[in-house]
Structure formats: C-alpha cells, structure tokens
Amino acid sequence: MSLGTWSPGAGSAVARTVGQTMVRRSVPDVWQFRQSAEQRRTQHLDISYSIHSLESVAGHLSHPADPSSQVRVRLEAITPFPVGTDGEYDVLQGGVDFYLDLSGVRRAGSHLGSLTVTFNNF
C-alpha cells in the first residue's frame, strides 16, 4: 500500500516554514471482514492498528539506506462500514487515517515500515 508522495517544492521558502510538515492520508480499504447479522447484534468488532519502521521502532517509518531519516506516524482508525453482502453475511470494511510528520525526514526516497491490523474481538 502506498500513501502517495509529498514534495515541498523546489527550494520554496514556504517548504521550510515550521508547521508545514504534517500530512494526512486516509486509506479506507485496509481490510474487509464477513460478519453475520447475528454476530453484528451480539459482538462488538474491536480492531487495533500499529505501525513499525524497518528497525521495529513503533510509530515510525524509516529510509532503508538511512535509518536516521524517519517519518513519525500517528494512526486513527476509520469506523468500519458495510460495503455489501455475501449470502447471509455482511461485508464490512475498515481503514485508517495516517498522520505523517515529515519533520524527521533527512533523505529523499521511500520510507518504509509494517502496518499490523489486529482483530481483537469479532
């Protein structure tokens, strides 16, 4: 999954202004889950998200060639919503908003990590 690209502009003074380093990316289709109508009435779907850099630093993405170049990431769950049915099951979909703090980026290029989605109760 790609969160897109961001560029401050070629040498722009605005690009160096403090406070211009936070980017929000919404990814509403991280997962889908089938749940019966009975399960929806009796069970609360509880899902948690975590993200770790290549060096296993929680809440960060990192550059593969320069681990000191990092993007801090805050995650906010998007409330699951129905996207269809499959026989007697509702198909729910969920996602996450990524708040990316680019102030720690020291090197151009992709910053990578792992997103973990945990279904705690279903």
Average pLDDT over the chain reads: 85
Q: Which helix (H) or strand (E) holds 42?
A: helix 37-42
**Residue 63 in this model has a pLDDT that exceeds 80:** yes
* pTM of the shown model: 0.77
Q: Report the SS3 class of residue 16.
A: helix
Mean pLDDT of 32-36: 91
**In the chain, domain spans:** 21-121
Residues 60, 52 contacting (CB under 8 angstroms): yes
In angstroms, the Cα distances linking 37 to 83, 91, 110, 121, 122 are 14, 10, 42, 16, 12
- pLDDT-derived band at 14 (thresholds 50, 70, 90) equals very low
Mean pLDDT of 50-67: 97
